[in-house]
Structure formats: structure tokens, C-alpha cells
Structure 1
Amino acid sequence: MLFISGFGYGQDNSSKLPLIEVLTSIEKQFNVKFSYAFDDVNTIFIEAPNPNLNLSETIEYLNSKTLLNFKVLDDRYITVSVINKMISICGRIITENNKSLLFGASIVVNNTNNGTFSNTEGVFSFKEIPLNATITISYLGYKSKQIKASLLFNEANSCSDIILSENNEELNQILITKFLTVGLQKRLDGSVVLNTEKFGILPGLIEPDILQSIQALPGVESTYESIANINVRGGTNDQNLMLWDDIKMYHSGHFFGLISAYNPNLTNKVIVSKNGTSSEYSDGVSSTINMFTKDELSSKFSGGAGLNLISGDAFLEIPITKTLELHVSGRRSFTDVLSTPTYDNYFDRSFQDSEINTNEDIENSTSSSDFVFYDYTAKLLFDLNGNHKLRANVIGISNNLDYAESVTNSSNQTNSKSSNLSQENLGFGGHWQAQWSDKFSTKLIAYYSKYNVDANDLRVETNQLLTQANEVLETGAKLNTHFKASSNLNLLLGYQVNETGILNETTVSAPSYERTKKDVLLNHAVFTEAEFKKNGTYLRAGVRVNYFQKFEKLLIEPRLNVRQKLNQQFALKLEGEFKNQSATQIVDFQDDFLGVENRRWILANNSNIPISTSKQGSFGIEYNQNNFIVDVTGFYKLVEGITASNQGFYNNFQYLNATGNYTAKGVEFLANKTHNKYSTWVSYTFSKNDYKFETFTPSEFPNNADIRHSVSLAFNYNILDNLEISVGGIWHSGIPYTKPVEGNETVQNGNLTFVNYDTPNSENLDEFKRLDISLNYNLSLTDKTKITLNLGVRNVTNEANIINRYYKVDPNDNSKAIQIDNVSLGFTPNASLRIKF
């Protein structure tokens, strides 16, 4: 105890004695008895009082030199109690191994919402906290430590050293703790962690929207300004594997892509991997977006609620017993009750090119539409004991659009019809995590995921009912076994099985027509990998073996992730992976859902729809000095087995069936400077992305997602301790599009007329540019209640960015083609008010 007190916190006690020893000496000298609680005095050191003082003078000395109250009851007894007062403390956090300062460590006063982070010198302070308070200090990759505030108090107001030791159980620890903004962190394997609970702000955002936030990373774009079209290094959105607590999700956004469908309030962290993924994951040839909810018992009732200009939400963490806890959250739009400018902008942007906005073409017609979305999550946490944990989860996501139209004929008779579009994703899952020994642990996972798009379109002018459905059902199980071979080496061996069934159905009432197609695919996989870290070397190498029972097809996928530190500033990194994907989305312009949703999931059949495979490699160099980071990475990606119907061509290939590949290669650059009061960064991506379809002429042409140049920059600044501003901009070159042949814009085939497109993707839209701004204000009402106000504006300068262009035959002159331009969000303000308790 004396060693810890004397050296662990860096206090100089060489000339001081333990208070208990001093009190024993005084008791013998004056024949008195002190009455005290052992915990109140056992860590206090003072200089011994002058032996020539009398008893009254000695008591006065003790009161002046300690934060205790010494009260004389009578000639024999003296009580000792803790003074109920506020103190100021200061600490400096250093590592045990190399005595380096820890920047960005989290310091929280227990049982309150009072917390802070250590600055660049590893220093933190609190001005007024209770004397008997306990603080918890945590830093990813290091063991958390709890300390009594009284130990950090001294009259000289100097900072006491606090030593944190490494947590050797987690090899792949955080490399950079504050990356772009608070709550974004970079790991040794190159993946990025979004910590939603500690997240700061990004330009234009009012909350840590998961899929909006990751677009701040280089190489992550959205060609159509939509999270439903996130392009990672040139890939399509369906090539991103999305997992929510190990449940595979087939749906990503509300408002058909403008808002993330995943409520961030119970999401603990999100890990985004562009390359070098663990062999544990597959089924996404472009990237892996892994979302985790809180997984530890908090043992206290807490929650929060929020409201913005589109929706409201709430979440609760409810302890049931010491070992059982329930976490729930819910969010719903109120747009069916109240229309705001933000909702109007989102609605116009989402449905600008759909049947909902074309009713005015029908004479004497009126129409109305009603759009609602909601999502909910629930998680049950049960700790059987210290070594066995059981978790069960459910997530539900829903978008619902009702559309009504009426036509008045020449006899003043009104015919009213209605249509509906429903989009839902429901997931159930759970896992059992067991620590069998200090070196061996297992995790058994099971899940069920169901995705549905259903549309009913009753058209007034033809009295025709069109019913459509796209359904995905997937069940899966996975067993991971971890073996800690040494403090530097972890081994993983696992097995996964999943069955996927996909249904596509279309029925028409007049004339009567029905088409139903259902496919089922069973996949087995065995995977293994080794993860090693020592000094400046990090290595993760593995392999995944996939077997598709229906096709008797075997796919072997090696994975590699290496980072080698050259010195204190520079490091080299090498990443590579093979991956596959059996479920993809096709874009069907003829058989879409009310013109709003034209994508539907389909399953590989190993003939005209092959299993997609990818081969990806990247190499880069990192510089990290004084919280200034420079990262340059070159990448190459080849994705084979894509289909023409998967790409959404607006050209002569629009209705053709073919398989091909695309090749994306380029360079990503990021420079980021962080400080305890500000963070600023600039990123640039150069990418060349080309298709190759052997049966097309020409066989090679630019990819629909070919954005050659992309730049983003931002600046975050803490104006006050509780007031932060974020300003940033995005610029990128326009995506490719195809023009009609000049002078011969249409071509006729029988009774049908089509646009006669020229060379595919030979033209580019104008450059895209947008300036965003956000403001964040925090107010603590009590120690446990906190209010947050966020203001954000997207597209401050109201740029009319064209994000997509295509052509259709002019209904008034079928020899001409009409140009259709889809425009991005204009000036769009939003605000949110949140309370957390």
C-alpha cells in the first residue's frame, strides 16, 4: 500500500508519515483515543506535529494539514470525519512501459455526467468535484483505473502522475485516439472506429449518423449524395457488408437513403474496414461496416431522448437485476403530422424522379402522399457469471409511403385510387461468449434477418393494379474460438454456416400476369487467422474457405494485414484480401416500385448471375508526430462477376444481360492536425474506375461511380468548453453519363421507341461542390442530466448540383430525347435537442 501511494501517483512522501502512525503516537502522548473510519485516513500522509505542542494545538495542526475534521468530544475521545467539500484536482496520465503521455484518455467522475479528456501533455483537471468522489480513467488498449479524488488533491495544485498499464488481451488496439474529430479513432489494422457515445460533430450533421459520418473518410463517396449509394473505392452500395450486432442487414437508410436507418444512441461503436479484413468476415466484396451496441452491464438506470426537424427518438438502459439488463431504443418520424422545411427538402430530393411527382401530367387530377419511417432496437444482456455472457438482440427498420390520386372525368365523376410502398428489415440475433481459461475463449453467434419491399400501385388512368415484392430471408450461425498463445500472439479458428433465400414476385391485374422466382443458397465456411503485435510490428494473416453446396463450388480467400513501424514518426502498411458475395442488387427501371425504389436483391445462380469475387491490395505510408497525421495509400481492386443489370446503366446496355468486371485503382491522401481545442483535416482521392464487359461494344468504358478527383476539408473548433463549431466542404469531379447520338436521338424497334445512346459514359457531369456547417452546445443541468443542442446546415451556398443525368423519349415528339437531371439537396437546415440522464 505504501509503495502504491508513494510511487503510483508520484506524490513525494519522503518527509511525511502515514496519518494512522501519527494518530497512534498522539494517542500515547496525550492518553486520548481517536475514532475514525480506516478508509478515510489510510492513504493520507502528513509531517508529524511538533512534540512540544499541547493537545489543543496538535488538533488545530491536524485540521489545518488535512481535509478531515478532528473534533474533541471530551477529555478522552476525539472523532475524525471527512469534510463534505468540493476540491480541485489535476492529473497527468503516462504509460507504464515507456512513460509516454496519453492524449485523449477518458476521465469520468463516477455516477455523474462530469467528464473530460486528457490534453496533448496527458494532463486533465476538474475545478470542483466532491472530496469523496471516485474517478475512472480509461484508454483503449490500456487497463482502466479508478482513483479517489482526494489522492489527487494537494495544496500546491500540482498534477499527480497516474500510470496506466497496457491491456495485453487486445492486440489490435487503437493507434490514433482522436482522428478527424472526437469519437473517431484509427486502429492498427487500418480500420476506423466511430465511437457514437463520445462522438464530436462533423460539418452539416446534427448527430453521429453512422453512414453519413464514414463519408468523411478518404475513398468513401456517395455518387448520388445518398447513404443508400455509398461507394467504397469505386464499389456499389450492395457490395458493403453491413452487420448490426453480427446480424446481416439488407437495408441501410430512411428516406430512401438520406438518413441512416441505424439509431446511434444505443450503438457503442462502428468499425469500417476498406481492406485487409479479418477472415471472420466475407460476403461483401467492397468493405465491411460492423456496428456494435453496448455490451456491458451498466448497473444503473439511464436514458435519453431527442427531437429534430424530422423525427423524435428515445432510449433506455434498464437494470433488472445485478446480472440482467435491458437496452431499448426507438425512433419515428412525425412528418405525417407536421411538415418542416427540412422534411420538404428531403421529400423533394427523394421523390423528384418518381410517379409521385408526375401526376400533374394527367388532366383534372389531384394527388397526395404520406411518408413515415421508424426504427427500434432492443437488447437483453445477461451475465451468467464472470466467464459466461449471454446476449439477445432485435432490430426493426421500416419506411412506408402512401400515395393517393384522383381523376375527375368530363361527367364530373371522380375516380380515386391509392398506392403503397413498404420497405422493412427485421433482424433477430444473439450470442454466447465464454471464457474457459485465461488463454481460451469461444463465441457462438446465431441470427435471422428478413428484408421486404412490397408495393401496390393502382393506376387511375388504366385501372390496373400492379403488385410487387422482393423478400430476403437469411439465417446463420458462427462459432469463433480464440486462443491466446502468448501476450503478443492471438489465434482464431472458426466455422460459419448461413442459408439465404430471395423471392421476387410481380403480378398485374389487367391484363392478368404473374411472375415469381425464388432461390435458396447454403454456404459453409471455415476460417482461421493469427494476429501478432510486438514493438513496432503488427501482423494479421488468415484464410477463409467457402463452400457453396448448391454449386459444389469452393472458394479460398487469403487475407493479410501488416503494419511496420520504421521509427517514432513513420510506418509502412500493407493490406490484401480475397472476398466473395452471393447476394447482389439489380436495378430494374421497367419493373420498379412506384419509380421510387428500382433496386431488388437477387441470388447468384452460377450461370448468368455468378458469385462476385474481389481481389484487393493496398500499400501506404503513415507519418504521425505531435498529433499531426499524414497518410498516403495506393490501392488496386478487381471485382469480377458483376452483371450489367447490377450497375443501373442509362445507355444502350440498359436492358442487356452480361457479366463482366470493374477495376478501381488510385491513391488516397489524408492530412489531419488535432489539438485539445481544434481539429482540421484535408483529404484527396484520385481514382480511376473502368468496366470491362467482353460482349459489349465498346467492351471497356468508365464506371458509373468513376469519380476521378475528390477533395474534402474541414475545421472543428471548441469556441468554449461546451460550444463547438464545425465547418467543411466537399468537391469532386462529376460522374460519367451517356448522351444520345446527336441528330439521331431515338431509334424504333417495332412499336417501341428507345433513346439512341452514344458511346457509354463518355461525358461527365459538372463538378460537385458543397459547403456545410454545424454547431454543438452542451449544458449540464445536474451531475446526471445533460442537454445538447445541435444546429446544422447542408449546402450553405445552395449549390444546384446535378448528381445524375439520363434521357427519355419525348412523348410529344418521339424523334427527340428529353434530358432529365436529378439535383442534390439544396440549402437544408436542421436542428436537434437532446437530453441525457
Structure 2
Amino acid sequence: MAINKWLVYLLICMSCFCNGQNTTKKTPLSEVIITIEKQFNVKFSYAVEDVAGITIDKPSNSLNLQEAIDYLNSKTLLNFKALNDRYVTVSILNKTISVCGIVLSSENKSRLIGASIVVNNIQKSTITNENGTFSLQNIPINATVNISYLGFESKSFSANELFSTQNNCKEIVLSTKNEELNQVLVPVYLTTGLQKYLDGSTVLNTKKFGILPGLIAPDILQSVQALPGVESTNESIANINVRGGTNDQNLVLWDNIKMYHSGHFFGLISAYNPNLTNKVIVSKNGTSAAYSDGVSSTINMYTKDVVTNTFSGGAGINSISSDVFLEIPITNKLELHVSGRRSITDLFTTPTYTKYFDRSFQDTEINTDNDQRDTSSDFYFYDYTAKILFDLNEKHQFRANIIGINNALDYSERVTANTNETQSKSSTLSQKNSGYGGNWKAQWNPKLSSNFITYFSKYNIDAVDYRVETDQRLTEANEVLETGVKLNVNYKTSDHLNFLFGYQFNETGMLNQTTVSAPLYSSTKKEVLLNHALFTELEYNKHNTYLRVGIRANYFQKFEKLLLEPRINIRQQVSDQFALKLEGEFKNQSTTQIVDFEDDFLGVEKRRWVLVNNQDIPIATSKQGSFGLEFNKNKLNIEATGFYKIVDGITAYNQGFYNNFQYKNAHGSYTAKGIEFLANKTASQYSVWLSYTFSKNNYKFDTFTPTTFPNNADIRHSTSIGFQYNVLKNLKIAIGGTWRNGVPYTRPLAGQETVRSGNNTMVNYGLPNSENLDDFMRLDASLNYNFNLSESIKASFAAGVINVTNQDNVINRYYKVNPNDQNDAIQVDNKALGLTPNVSFRVSF
């Protein structure tokens, strides 16, 4: 007890010293007391240690005794009380106090919105509001308060340092991280939690995420679709098209682990639980030389990486799934973060599940009506993550991660034959992606730091499709095994200049296996590819200039092939409001997905991962350049960017053609060029935005006729508008709409819709992608209400509606031979989600 008492005394002394004014000379409190005693002929009763070390400004000599006592009470954490005209007692205040602060950036003293405020060892935390301020009540006087913000150095204060009366909150200035020259450019981008960096990348901070139309949670992959140039042609959340690319051309990293699967419910739900995800960085161009293997974009997800010594967590449930996450301190240097999520769709059916099920399984055997068959299906998914954080000391940090994603579908059917015999057979589909990783961060001296990364990723599709009519069992397997090692070394010569040097090694193995029971057939293909890379980069940021230039050398051991990839990223501020942006990059990709229409599983899953072989499946390469103009004033952000991208080495197999090229193999290229525009106005109560993208995207296959035709993802015009408003302090609403051109499709030749090929009859398609579907239009809305169940337990209720007007949108169209008339082709339309509501309830502590 004595030790704690002395600690309290010491903290009080420090507080009074820190809270004093720096512009005038302070006087020891003991001297002030002696002066007042002489002035008013009174006696102060106090313990010497209570006032030792405390300094304040001298009170005015014009004050009377009571006014002098009131002044002392306002300037210290002590309680001065006059017993009578002769004696004044001095005692320590209660051990809990109220604290507040204003968090500012060191660059321009701008207020930081959404900074995290965490009180160690007690269940109390908050974030700064739209004015950059925060306040907390009933905080122990000896508690430590941690203040952090993405891209800035964290700071810790004792609670009494932040104690203030009459709302005179302490200004807290955070400096940008020494190792990070790439600073926050736009702190609120569309909504709180979305930010833009100087290098043009977009950062999603899920903990500080506000609200976007249609969302009930900060779904990572759906949130990035709010950005111009990012689309999903088939309305899938997980399958996104960045500047005309296919989904497999996006490099997806989770804590530096390469992921090969992104979605639940066949792409309608992101597979990454956002609760422990701290930030997501999306780069469309000008990527750092430290990354490759994604010719369209890089989506880099990071989980929380700070040992807070605070036990916290939360749980939630919505119409599709439930989840829980925990942050568990083990020692002062060791912490465990875990999360888990599982669907509830196999337990009971909700309207949301029904909409998702119909959308996912339309035009498949699972949704086919047949009087002779009795079918049933059982679908569920789950994911989990775990992370161990160990800080050996201030200079060495160790992290270990694990992630697991699983989707499972069981389908059974009973067929009654003419003999009244009933056969019952089952089919199963399992999709899994697990990852294991670790890294060691070291700060060797103020200038030199390193990060050693290693990971292992495993992806599996295992399917058993039993076809009752033909008594045929089809077994399929697709497996990816990848091991990676990476070393980044940073050398910072000054506050403005940083050099990056690095090496990366990857070993990727893939297996594709197909077995048919009748007639007996078996095929197994295994491929392994080793890739070495050296990269270096210079990053400079001073005054109005940001520059990042680098080069990456990739060596493919199997092919004895070397690819050099230069990168450039320049931003020049030409005035207080205007800036110019130039980006460029060369990239490559050695893995791709093919679309197999013949060996698909019940019409549900058609895609398989394969490795390049430098022959019929070449290494895909991209060259991209973009130039933009930015305007930023009074929280009005306007951007216009023109881009030009060429991707070479794509194959017909991985484009999913529904035309005469459907079963042909060839490799070619596509060229995407266009303009992206975004206008975003933010204020303390609202955010409104308008985005528009014009893009022209064409294929070129030299062996096809015609050689050039529109890309499957060719969306010429795309517009979105959104509005987010804080109705009350804890109530937010968001409304937004999307309009875009329909994607291209191919129509059969009129009057000659089918053609015979040997014993088979096929659709006789006309010019490829010469027609377009009707325009896609959708209006979404959502609301979020936060409230407190107790002092330490916070709760939130969210509701969202996708496609409020129940618009009938066709997202894909193809044709198949009419089984009743071999000369006729039937049109098949895949529809987007209709009106789809969803609600969620969450608690956190």
C-alpha cells in the first residue's frame, strides 16, 4: 500500500507539472502556500510529500482567501478546504478522475478523427470524434492511457496528465511514424475509417469504419467496391474487377500470407472477418516494388499489431452468420488475438439466406425442378483466425498468425425409376484455404530496420458429384501449396528519405485431379514453380513532393527466365489546393484460374487454379500508367485520373467465354483505358460523394476471328452516388445508388442458332460480345445505431437493404441447345440479388 501511495503522489506531481502553462515560470506549490499563509494569517495542514514537486502559476495578490483556495483547487489534483478562518486542510482527490484531449497531426496540426484511446488494464476505450477530441470518465488516477492513429507514432500518458477542469483539454500531437514516409492525405475518404495515402493507395481501418450504403459491417472486399475503377461484373463481393481485370488478377494478402480464396457463399460474402482486421490497403497502380504477382491490384490486409495489455472482445449475429473475437493479454509482452465466424444458415432459414441461396444456385442442378427427383441441400461456412504477439523489447517484435476459411455443400437426391425403385445418392463440395505465417521486426538502430516474413498457404477444392441418371461418379480435386520467405530491409538516411532492399522466394505447387467412374477415366496433373526476386526502392517525401521509385527482378528457375519490373509513384503539390499524380508499373503473375464448363460441380463451381507453363499458359505481364489531378480544400476532395493498362499472356480458358471460343485454348491480351472521377465532400455530420468511371476494354487474340472484340468486363460507363449522415450522435444512415452499362454478351446467329459438330449439337454464336445487357441499376440503404449496455459494454444495431427498389438486373446471359428442339437455342439469364434485407446486433467490451 505504501508503494502505491507513493506512486500516486508521484503521478500527481507529474500531472501538475505537465498541465501547467509553459509560457510563464512556475512556482513550487509549497512556496505558494507559504505566501498565502502569510498574506491571510492562516495555517495549511498537509503532508509534505503531497505537495512536493508540484509547481503552478502564482495566484493574483488581489484574490481573497476563498478565491485563492478555489484557484488552488482548479490548478492541482489536490483538495483545499477551509475549516475556519484559521485552518485550511489539503488532501488527495478521489482516485478516479475524468480525462480529455485533442489529438492533432504534427504535420499541419490538423485534428485526427477516429484516433484510438485505450486505458490499460480496465475495460475502457473510445475514439476521437469529428473534432478530434475525446473524453472518458471514472478513470483511475494512476492508469495509463494509450493514444494511437494509423500511420502515426503512438503515445502514452498517465491519466492525471490528461486531467483537466472546465473542458480545458490537453492538446496531444502525434508524429508520423519514422519508418513510414507515406502519410495520410485524406483522413476521411467517403466515410470515417476510409483514408487515402500520399501514394494513392486506399486504407480501410475497420475499427473506425463508419457506414456505407447496404453494409451492416465493414465488409472488407465490399467496401473497396465503393472506389472508382473497382467493379464486380457478377455482383459478387469476393470476385472484383479492378480496371477491367479478372478476379484472379488481384493479389490478396492477409498478414503477408497469400490467399487463394476470398469468399463465402460462392462470392457473396467476404471470407475475411473484419473484427481483428486493423487496416486494408488497396493499390491499383504504382505498387511498391516489394509486391508482385497480381497484374490488376494488390489488396493487403493487416490485423491488429500492438500489444495493448487490455482484455477486450466482442460478438455479433446477423441474418447469415454469428461471430466472436477476443484480445487476450497473457503477459506485459505477450498477447493472443482470436476470432471465429460461422454461418447459421444450416440451423434456420432467414429471408436473407433465401435471397443469397437463390442468387448463388440459380441455373444449377441444385435449383433445378424435376418431378422425378427429390433433392435437398445443406450449406454452411466458417472461418477463424489467431495471432500471437510477442514484444521481446522495444526493438524486436515477433508475430505468428493462422487463418482458416471453409465452405461446405452437401447435396442429396432421390430418383424414383419407372420400376418404382428409389435411388438415393449424395454429392459434396468442400472449399478450404488455410494459411500460417510469422514475422520478425527488428529496429537495429534509428536508421536501420528489417522485417523477416515467412508463410505457408494451402487451398483445396474437393468435390464428389454423383449423377444418378447415368450412375456416374465424378471426383475432382484442386490443391495449391505455396511457401514463401521474404526479407525487407529499410535504411532511413533522414526524415525525408528511405531506402528499401529486399529478397523474396516462393515455391508454388498445384495439383488438378479428375476421376470418372463410368466410363473409367483418371487424370492427375502436378506442377511446381520456384520464383526468386530481388527488389529495391527509394521513397522521398519533403515539402510538396512525394516520390517512390523502385525496380523488382523476378527469376523463374524452371524457365530460366528473368523479368524486370520498374515502378514509379510521384505526387507533386503545385498549390495549396491542387496536386498532380503520376503512377506506373510493370507486374507479372504466375498463377491463374481456368474456367472448366465440362467438369464443373453441379453447375456451381467451375474455376480451378493452375500454374503457368510458359507455353499454352504463359506468364501474364502487365504494363500500366496513370496520370491524375487532385483538388482538396475545406474537406472537398476532387480527383480525376486517366489510366492505360495492357495485360499480356491471358488465356481463353481463364476468361469464361460464352461464345464460339468457349472450349478453345489460346493466349492473348487485353487493353483497358479510361478515366476515373471522384468528388467527395465531408463535414462533421455528413459525407456525400459522386464517382464516375469511363473505361474501354478490348481483347486481342491473334488466332481468333475477329482478333479484337470487347472484354467480358467491358463496362464503358459506371456511376455511383452516396450520402452518409449522422442523424444523432449515435445514429448514422447511408443511402447510395449504382448505375452502369450492362456487360457484353454474344447472341446466336439468327436463323442458324445451332450447329452440328460430330455427334454433338452446339450453339452457333455470332460476333463475340457484340451485344450488351440492359443497364444495371441498384439503390442500397443502411443504418447503424450505437448505444451502451453498461460502462464497459458497448452495443450496436445495424440494418441494411440491398436493392431497395427490387430492380430486376440481369448480370450474365448465355444460350444452350433446346433439348426438345435441336435447331433452337434457349436464352439463360442469371439475375442479380433482388430486394435483400439484413440486420445485425453486436456487443463489444
- Whether these two folds match at TM > 0.5 is yes
8 Å contact kept, 1:6–1:13: no
> Are 1:47 and 2:34 counterparts?
no
Pairwise CA distance, 1:124 = 2.7
Task: Summarize deviations over 1:36-66 as a string: whole Å, max 9, x none.
Answer: 665898365451567985xx99767745776
**SS of the counterpart of 2:375?**
strand
Distance 2:610 2:172 in 1: 56
Distance 1:785 1:395 in 2: 27
The aligned length equals: 829
- Summarize the Cα distance change of 1:832–1:814 in structure 2 as closer, same or farther, 3 Å threshold: same
Distance 1:21 1:502 in 2: 79
Match of 1:284 in 2: 294
8 Å contact kept, 1:526–1:545: yes
Task: Summarize deviations over 1:250-278 as a string: whole Å, max 9, x none.
Answer: 00000010000001111111100000000
Pairwise CA distance, 1:412 = 2.4
- Summarize the Cα distance change of 1:257–1:19 in structure 2 as closer, same or farther, 3 Å threshold: same
> Are 1:80 and 2:91 counterparts?
yes
> Are 1:708 and 2:716 counterparts?
yes
**1:458-497 to 2 correspondence within 5 Å?**
458-497=466-505
Distance 1:52 1:282 in 2: 74
Distance 2:722 2:509 in 1: 44
Task: Summarize deviations over 1:551-573 as a string: whole Å, max 9, x none.
Answer: 00000000000000001100001
Pairwise CA distance, 1:340 = 0.6
- Summarize the Cα distance change of 1:103–1:391 in structure 2 as closer, same or farther, 3 Å threshold: closer
Distance 1:402 1:263 in 2: 24
Paired letter, 1:437: N
> Are 1:738 and 2:746 counterparts?
yes
8 Å contact kept, 1:35–1:78: no
- Summarize the Cα distance change of 1:94–1:396 in structure 2 as closer, same or farther, 3 Å threshold: closer
Which of the numbers 683, 697, 706 marks the counterpart of 1:675?
Answer: 683
8 Å contact kept, 1:192–1:273: yes
Distance 1:484 1:61 in 2: 49
> Are 1:101 and 2:113 counterparts?
no
Match of 1:321 in 2: 331
**SS of the counterpart of 1:720?**
coil
- Summarize the Cα distance change of 1:58–1:796 in structure 2 as closer, same or farther, 3 Å threshold: closer
Pairwise CA distance, 1:320 = 1.3
Match of 1:657 in 2: 665
Which of the numbers 619, 637, 641 marks the counterpart of 1:611?
Answer: 619
8 Å contact kept, 1:776–1:788: yes
Which of the numbers 308, 313, 325 marks the counterpart of 1:303?
Answer: 313
Paired letter, 1:255: F
Distance 1:41 1:307 in 2: 53
Pairwise CA distance, 1:486 = 1.1
Match of 2:5 in 1: none
Paired letter, 1:812: N
**SS of the counterpart of 2:33?**
helix
Pairwise CA distance, 1:134 = 6.5
8 Å contact kept, 1:16–1:48: no
Distance 1:172 1:270 in 2: 15
Pairwise CA distance, 1:125 = 5.5
Which of the numbers 540, 545, 551 marks the counterpart of 1:543?
Answer: 551
8 Å contact kept, 1:40–1:81: no
Paired letter, 1:296: V
**1:208-227 to 2 correspondence within 5 Å?**
208-227=218-237
Q: Which runs of 5+ in 2 are unaligned?
A: 1-10
Match of 2:128 in 1: 117
Which of the numbers 180, 192, 198 marks the counterpart of 1:182?
Answer: 192
Pairwise CA distance, 1:411 = 3.0
Which of the numbers 423, 426, 429 marks the counterpart of 2:434?
Answer: 426
What value does the CA root-mean-square deviation take over the aligned residues? Answer: 2.8
**SS of the counterpart of 1:663?**
strand
Task: Summarize deviations over 1:291-325 as a string: whole Å, max 9, x none.
Answer: 11111112121111110011111011111111111
**SS of the counterpart of 2:727?**
strand
Paired letter, 2:92: S
Match of 2:463 in 1: 455
**SS of the counterpart of 2:376?**
strand
Distance 1:779 1:52 in 2: 46
Match of 1:763 in 2: 771
- Summarize the Cα distance change of 1:822–1:169 in structure 2 as closer, same or farther, 3 Å threshold: same
Distance 1:293 1:93 in 2: 23
Range that drifts further, 514-523 or 42-51: 42-51
Which of the numbers 804, 809, 815 marks the counterpart of 2:812?
Answer: 804
> Are 1:35 and 2:47 counterparts?
yes
**SS of the counterpart of 1:277?**
coil
Pairwise CA distance, 1:462 = 1.2
> Are 1:330 and 2:340 counterparts?
yes
Which of the numbers 580, 599, 602 marks the counterpart of 1:594?
Answer: 602
Distance 2:560 2:274 in 1: 41
Pairwise CA distance, 1:485 = 1.2
Task: Summarize deviations over 1:127-169 as a string: whole Å, max 9, x none.
Answer: 9665947755444444444456766676665666544444443
Percent identical pairs in the alignment equals 63
Task: Summarize deviations over 1:98-126 as a string: whole Å, max 9, x none.
Answer: 5x43252626363454534354xx55364
**SS of the counterpart of 1:229?**
coil
Match of 2:375 in 1: 367
Paired letter, 1:627: K
8 Å contact kept, 1:738–1:763: yes
> Are 1:260 and 2:270 counterparts?
yes
- Summarize the Cα distance change of 1:315–1:5 in structure 2 as closer, same or farther, 3 Å threshold: closer
**SS of the counterpart of 1:215?**
helix
8 Å contact kept, 1:6–1:12: no
8 Å contact kept, 1:443–1:480: yes
8 Å contact kept, 1:779–1:786: yes
Paired letter, 2:701: F
Task: Summarize deviations over 1:386-438 as a string: whole Å, max 9, x none.
Answer: 11111111111000000000011233221100100110001111111111111
8 Å contact kept, 1:17–1:48: no
Pairwise CA distance, 1:94 = 4.8
Pairwise CA distance, 1:785 = 1.2
**SS of the counterpart of 2:275?**
coil
Task: Summarize deviations over 1:314-348 as a string: whole Å, max 9, x none.
Answer: 01111111111111111011111111110011011
Match of 1:629 in 2: 637
Pairwise CA distance, 1:696 = 0.3
Match of 1:271 in 2: 281
**SS of the counterpart of 2:352?**
helix
Range that drifts further, 103-112 or 507-516: 103-112
